[in-house]
Chain A
Amino acid sequence: MSVLRSERRPGAYYDSIVLMQLQSALAAEPGVSAAGVVMATEANLALLESTGLRPAGAATVPDDLLVAVRADTEAAGDDALARLDSLLDRRRASAADASAGHEEDYRPRSLETAVRMLPEASWVLISVPGRYAAGVAKRALDLDRNVFLYSDNVDLDDEVALKRRARSLGLTVMGPDCGTAIVGGVGLGFANRVRRGGVGLIGASGTGLQAITSGIHTLGAGVSHALGTGGRDLKQEVGAVTALQGLDLLARDSRTEVIVLVSKPPAASVATRLLGAALETGKPVVVDFIGYPPPGRQLGNLHFATGLGDAARLAVDLLDSSTEGRKAPAESSGARGLLRGLFAGGTLAFEALQGLRAFLPGVYSNVAIEGVEPLDDPTRSRGHTILDLGEDEFTIGRLHPMMDQTLRLARLRQETADPEVSTILLDVVLGHGSHTDPAAELAPVIEEILERRKRLEIVVIVVGTEEDPQDLEAQTERLSQAGARVFSDTSEAVAHALRRHQAASEELPRVDPAALAAPLAAINVGLESFHASLLAQEARAVQVDWRPPAGGDRKLMAILDKMRGTDTDWMRRESTP
């Protein structure tokens, strides 16, 4: 037994073609056997009558839209009627697609309209005068778009606010004063024509980026993406928000095999944070902090370049070798806690310190080295501590720890009794004259400690050869069995330990990789030449016919700001720490 359901919409005019389309769409709805969609003229009512679709007793006038469905059940009929609007919208949307060409050469005045015209645009390029740039960037973020901010003379406070906001939204802001970038093979702003390839770059220095990308191209390799950050990103106040996002993006980008990080000297605290994040990418990272003393030539997956040309060469070399067995990103610890190193070898301790001081704030040692705090009392560790147990204060009346491990074992117990301590770094130096079987003494203590402290990690550097009397392989084996992580290279061991000590990044949305997806689509606000350049590179682009808001009248602009719809005030909030 079927039922008739109907709806009357007064004064809704639709062309008869639309009504016929609606009618067939409704008839195709589940559980519907027949449908009638008509303007309620006498003739149409008669038509409904003849097909058994005329609703009983409904008073209508010819300007009413009358919709009737015959359905298996009342529910099916009501469901079909409820779909009326979405069926109408669907038709409207498809018609809109068909007519999209009409809008193509329209120059929108507002960013909102540009976004409507090119919804797939993931970037907004901004090159308007500095005093307006932050406002445009803010609007772009509000519209859920990443920002390439070419403009300079943007307040530092505004930069901080924009970048924090972007980060909280899973968006990124390149710049301000970002001269160059290459996204998915398309140059934004100033960029050289370089082939696509496996090197991804992050640069706080525009010309630095251009020099390295050109160098890579000349060496026969190519660039996946080159992300600019703007010159102030690595300042203390900004905290490398964009560079950190870039590292994360490139780490996840399948096309990028080697990462290059180039900048003028960053703030020390920012450098440590950034290098730490680079360690966690699990991809080879070439670092060129121009004028910044590198902790060594290599530290784990980090390779330190001595200049722009060197950075390009290193990256290309790494590209060639990186295909074999790339390390998976280290288990991003979040372990935190403290690191303690108990070294028998003074030079090993020194090398470890050189690596650590670039990454960890507050490292203490009895070894005098720049950037590391001296320990007042060597018998008591504090913060992250690296001890050279071969120093005079420990060897008075005792044998050197390479021969006698008593003091070191006692100190190992002492350190691991501190629940704050999460990582231990030890060295074992084999060879003639050293202890005849250091692993035999160390391993049981390590086992015992790890039994107690499940999450503690003990990292051991073993120096020696398979021809040494102690037998390198046997020593390594014994220590590994006890649960230690054994390395033969200090920098590898340090890098491993460091990965456990990176400040876990706050739980913020990561930048959507769609930001780097090709084909690039972008909205340009400002310099026409950037728009022309995008089109020449076959990117889809819309140029906004931008004028200063309210003709540049500050009073009116301030009022408009206050009148802006939802959340008007985040610029101020975000810029105050």
Chain B
Amino acid sequence: MSLDIDKANATVLDRMTSARPMLTTVAPARDVVPGLREGLLLHAGPPIEWPRMSGPLQGAVIGALLLEGLADDEASARAMAESGEVDFEPCHHHGAVGPMAGVISPSMAVYVVENPVHGNRSYSNLNEGYGKVLRYGAYSPEVLEKLRWMNGEMASLLAAALAATDGGLDLRALLAEALHMGDEGQDRNKAGWLLYLKLLAPQIARVAGDWATAERVLAFLGDNALSVLNPVMAACKAMADAGHGIEGSTIVTTMARNGTDFGIRVSGLGDRWFTAPAQTPDGLYFTGFTSEDANPDIGDSTITETAGIGAFAMAAAPAIVSFVSGSPKDAMHATLEMYEITAGEHPQLNIPALGFRGTPVGIDVRKVIELGVTPRVNTGIAHREAGIGQVGAGLVRPPLGIFEQALLAFAELHGLSEPETH
């Protein structure tokens, strides 16, 4: 039998963990994201059409159409989306990822991450910060105003600052250090954010030309601990993509939610999505909100767990244990549980509290099904209505059924499901 799943998985694991994501520049999406044509909007999660989109995603689509100047107001934007004049495709089909609604339109600036080891690239949009933001479906004039500034002044300065570095910023090294400082890379980014700021600040000061611009950009980055989340997500995407497309592998290389469906893709099963309705995260809510307000799970940030951080590295981030119930021991156990369904341990990213054990990486569909243990995901919770924003944060797991679908598809592809003939 030529099918050697363990070997294929080992190859995937090696490619994912040896990938070296370098943040090299910031550029308009239309210039760098492959296949991003005018009239096409990218979104988080698996493919979805307008009628099935949840509130936050529809709001973000409206905002993007307004931003692109394709519609003049909400009503005409809705009409466009409904009429099919606009195309929708997942970010993941274009090497990109975006948190929450994850909408990327051609004029938006994106981070470009290069993996020189395997020669692939990945992209993510810029983080808008907290409050009323497009990724939660807000599209008021001040939201669009901020986006225009980000895509303009901030993006140009970031591009120049990155160009001033020697080959870009090594995001894997940044992550490794951040895990030692109490981040898990998804819900907690305090350390990574400060490291990011510290790496960029001298370059920004060097290339800004005027103090006022430097101050605006540094203040914006410095006010938002999520500034680093998008580059980190792009880094995780670059690592996961390095492992995609290996024949015979059962490792998950994509997990993503669009606010309606949760979808996964598997290295050895090509670009096929396995999807089921997304669940509502179990978590803590900001004052004034309850689970009644929560949108089903949304966003591409699950790329962090796919690459072996986020909830998988929970043991590194005892400060946010309240998401998993309360005690640091629960945080340990969260990570220990993920070792049971992963193919290996990350040679570069490790957790001091677990004796510097590498983070669990490479979700193996076989193990998920055998043990009935689905991956843990740390996530922000969006309000179900467009534009209200984040209402909490917590824990969610993908539906087990999508892993079953993937296993059955794999079995069919390799002739493992026929009755035995002896």
Query: Who on chain B is nearest to A110 by CB?
Result: B340
Whether A11 lies near B332 (C-beta < 8 A) is no
State the Cβ distance, A85 to closest chain B Cβ, in Å: 10
Query: Who on chain A is nearest to B415 by CB?
Result: A562
- Which residues of chain A are within 8 angstroms of B372 by Cβ–Cβ distance? 547, 550-551
Q: Cβ of B326 < 8 Å from any Cβ of A?
A: no
Interface string of B101-121 (1 = CB under 8 A from A): 000000000000000000000
Within 8 A of B (CB), among A559-573: 559-560, 562-566
Q: Cβ of A95 < 8 Å from any Cβ of B?
A: yes
Do A11 and B356 form a contact, CB below 8 Å, given A63-B170, A556-B369? no
Query: Who on chain B is nearest to A95 by CB?
Result: B355
Question: Complex formed: what's the CA distance from A106 to B332 in Å?
Answer: 9
State the Cβ distance, B363 to closest chain A Cβ, in Å: 14
- Which residues of chain A are within 8 angstroms of B367 by Cβ–Cβ distance? 110
Whether B173 lies near A63 (C-beta < 8 A) is yes
Contact of A103 among B176, B336, B352 (CB under 8 A): B336
Q: Cβ of A254 < 8 Å from any Cβ of B?
A: no
Q: Cβ of B416 < 8 Å from any Cβ of A?
A: yes
The segment out of B25-33, B84-92, B404-412 that lies at the interface is B404-412
Contact of A559 among B6, B355, B417 (CB under 8 A): B417
Question: Complex formed: what's the CA distance from A112 to B166 in Å?
Answer: 44
Q: Cβ of A220 < 8 Å from any Cβ of B?
A: no
Whether B411 lies near A559 (C-beta < 8 A) is yes
Q: Cβ of B339 < 8 Å from any Cβ of A?
A: yes
State the Cβ distance, A113 to closest chain B Cβ, in Å: 5
Contact of B371 among A91, A99, A109 (CB under 8 A): A109
Question: Complex formed: what's the CA distance from A63 to B23 in Å?
Answer: 13
Contact of B250 among A11, A13, A103, A563 (CB under 8 A): A563
Whether A560 lies near B170 (C-beta < 8 A) is no
Question: Complex formed: what's the CA distance from A92 to B5 in Å?
Answer: 29
Whether B5 lies near A11 (C-beta < 8 A) is no
- Which residues of chain B are within 8 angstroms of A91 by Cβ–Cβ distance? 356
Whether B411 lies near A100 (C-beta < 8 A) is no
Whether A556 lies near B20 (C-beta < 8 A) is no
State the Cβ distance, B412 to closest chain A Cβ, in Å: 10
Whether A12 lies near B6 (C-beta < 8 A) is no
Whether B366 lies near A560 (C-beta < 8 A) is yes
Question: Complex formed: what's the CA distance from A100 to B250 in Å?
Answer: 30
Q: Cβ of A98 < 8 Å from any Cβ of B?
A: yes
Q: Cβ of B79 < 8 Å from any Cβ of A?
A: no
Interface string of B322-343 (1 = CB under 8 A from A): 0000000100110011011000
Query: Who on chain B is nearest to A103 by CB?
Result: B336
Q: Cβ of A96 < 8 Å from any Cβ of B?
A: yes
Question: Complex formed: what's the CA distance from A550 to B350 in Å?
Answer: 30
Question: Complex formed: what's the CA distance from A98 to B352 in Å?
Answer: 11
Instruction: Indicate the size class of the contact surface on chain A.
Output: 35 or more
Interface string of A527-548 (1 = CB under 8 A from B): 0000000000000000000010
Q: Cβ of B180 < 8 Å from any Cβ of A?
A: yes
State the Cβ distance, B413 to closest chain A Cβ, in Å: 12
State the Cβ distance, B179 to closest chain A Cβ, in Å: 9
Whether B353 lies near A102 (C-beta < 8 A) is yes
Query: Who on chain A is nearest to B370 by CB?
Result: A549
- Which residues of chain A are within 8 angstroms of B39 by Cβ–Cβ distance? none
Whether B370 lies near A560 (C-beta < 8 A) is yes
Q: Cβ of B357 < 8 Å from any Cβ of A?
A: yes
- Which residues of chain B are within 8 angstroms of A98 by Cβ–Cβ distance? 355
Contact of A108 among B177, B340, B407 (CB under 8 A): B340
Query: Who on chain A is nearest to B350 by CB?
Result: A92
State the Cβ distance, B175 to closest chain A Cβ, in Å: 8
State the Cβ distance, A334 to closest chain B Cβ, in Å: 38
State the Cβ distance, A404 to closest chain B Cβ, in Å: 67
Whether B180 lies near A96 (C-beta < 8 A) is no
Question: Complex formed: what's the CA distance from A110 to B315 in Å?
Answer: 20
Do A566 and B6 form a contact, CB below 8 Å, given A99-B354, A99-B355, A102-B354? yes
Query: Who on chain B is nearest to A97 by CB?
Result: B355
Whether B5 lies near A563 (C-beta < 8 A) is yes
- Which residues of chain B are within 8 angstroms of A564 by Cβ–Cβ distance? 366
Whether B5 lies near A565 (C-beta < 8 A) is yes
Whether B340 lies near A105 (C-beta < 8 A) is no
Q: Cβ of B167 < 8 Å from any Cβ of A?
A: yes
Question: Complex formed: what's the CA distance from A108 to B367 in Å?
Answer: 13
Q: Cβ of B237 < 8 Å from any Cβ of A?
A: no
- Which residues of chain B are within 8 angstroms of A556 by Cβ–Cβ distance? 369, 404, 407-408
- Which residues of chain B are within 8 angstroms of A100 by Cβ–Cβ distance? 355
Within 8 A of A (CB), among B104-163: none
With most chain B CB atoms within 10 A of its CB, the pick from A97, A106, A108 is A106
Contact of A565 among B6, B337, B348 (CB under 8 A): B6
- Which residues of chain A are within 8 angstroms of B315 by Cβ–Cβ distance? 102
- Which residues of chain A are within 8 angstroms of B357 by Cβ–Cβ distance? 92, 96
Whether B355 lies near A15 (C-beta < 8 A) is no
Whether A109 lies near B373 (C-beta < 8 A) is yes
Question: Complex formed: what's the CA distance from A103 to B334 in Å?
Answer: 11
State the Cβ distance, B19 to closest chain A Cβ, in Å: 10
State the Cβ distance, A569 to closest chain B Cβ, in Å: 10
Question: Complex formed: what's the CA distance from A493 to B14 in Å?
Answer: 67
Question: Complex formed: what's the CA distance from A539 to B250 in Å?
Answer: 38
- Which residues of chain B are within 8 angstroms of A103 by Cβ–Cβ distance? 332, 336, 354
Question: Complex formed: what's the CA distance from A95 to B369 in Å?
Answer: 32
Query: Who on chain B is nearest to A572 by CB?
Result: B422
- Which residues of chain A are within 8 angstroms of B356 by Cβ–Cβ distance? 91-92, 95-96
- Which residues of chain B are within 8 angstroms of A10 by Cβ–Cβ distance? 20, 170
Query: Who on chain B is nearest to A60 by CB?
Result: B166
Interface string of A80-123 (1 = CB under 8 A from B): 00000000000111011111101101101110110000000000
Question: Complex formed: what's the CA distance from A550 to B332 in Å?
Answer: 25
Question: Complex formed: what's the CA distance from A98 to B5 in Å?
Answer: 35
With most chain A CB atoms within 10 A of its CB, the pick from B172, B367, B369, B370 is B370
Question: Complex formed: what's the CA distance from A560 to B336 in Å?
Answer: 23
Whether A113 lies near B340 (C-beta < 8 A) is yes
Whether A13 lies near B369 (C-beta < 8 A) is no
Interface string of A10-28 (1 = CB under 8 A from B): 1111010000000000000
Question: Complex formed: what's the CA distance from A106 to B354 in Å?
Answer: 13
Do A559 and B408 form a contact, CB below 8 Å, given A63-B173, A105-B329, A113-B339? yes
- Which residues of chain A are within 8 angstroms of B332 by Cβ–Cβ distance? 102-103, 106
Whether B416 lies near A559 (C-beta < 8 A) is yes
Within 8 A of A (CB), among B173-216: 173-174, 176-177, 180
Whether A547 lies near B371 (C-beta < 8 A) is yes
Question: Complex formed: what's the CA distance from A549 to B407 in Å?
Answer: 14
Question: Complex formed: what's the CA distance from A100 to B354 in Å?
Answer: 8
Question: Complex formed: what's the CA distance from A102 to B351 in Å?
Answer: 12
Q: A102-B315, A563-B416 are known contacts; what are 17 more A-B pairs with Cβ within 8 Å?
A: A10-B170, A13-B176, A13-B348, A93-B355, A96-B354, A96-B356, A106-B336, A106-B337, A109-B337, A109-B371, A550-B370, A556-B369, A556-B408, A559-B407, A559-B416, A564-B366, A565-B6
20 A–B contacts from the bound complex (CB under 8 Å): A11-B348, A95-B356, A99-B353, A99-B355, A102-B315, A105-B329, A106-B333, A106-B336, A109-B337, A109-B371, A110-B340, A110-B370, A547-B372, A550-B370, A556-B369, A556-B404, A560-B369, A562-B411, A563-B366, A564-B366
Footprint of A on B, CB under 8 Å?
5-6, 20, 166-167, 170, 172-174, 176-177, 180, 250, 315, 329, 332-333, 336-337, 339-340, 348, 350, 352-357, 366-367, 369-373, 404, 407-408, 410-411, 416-417
The 5 tightest CB contacts between A and B, nearest first, are A96-B355, A13-B176, A99-B355, A63-B170, A565-B6
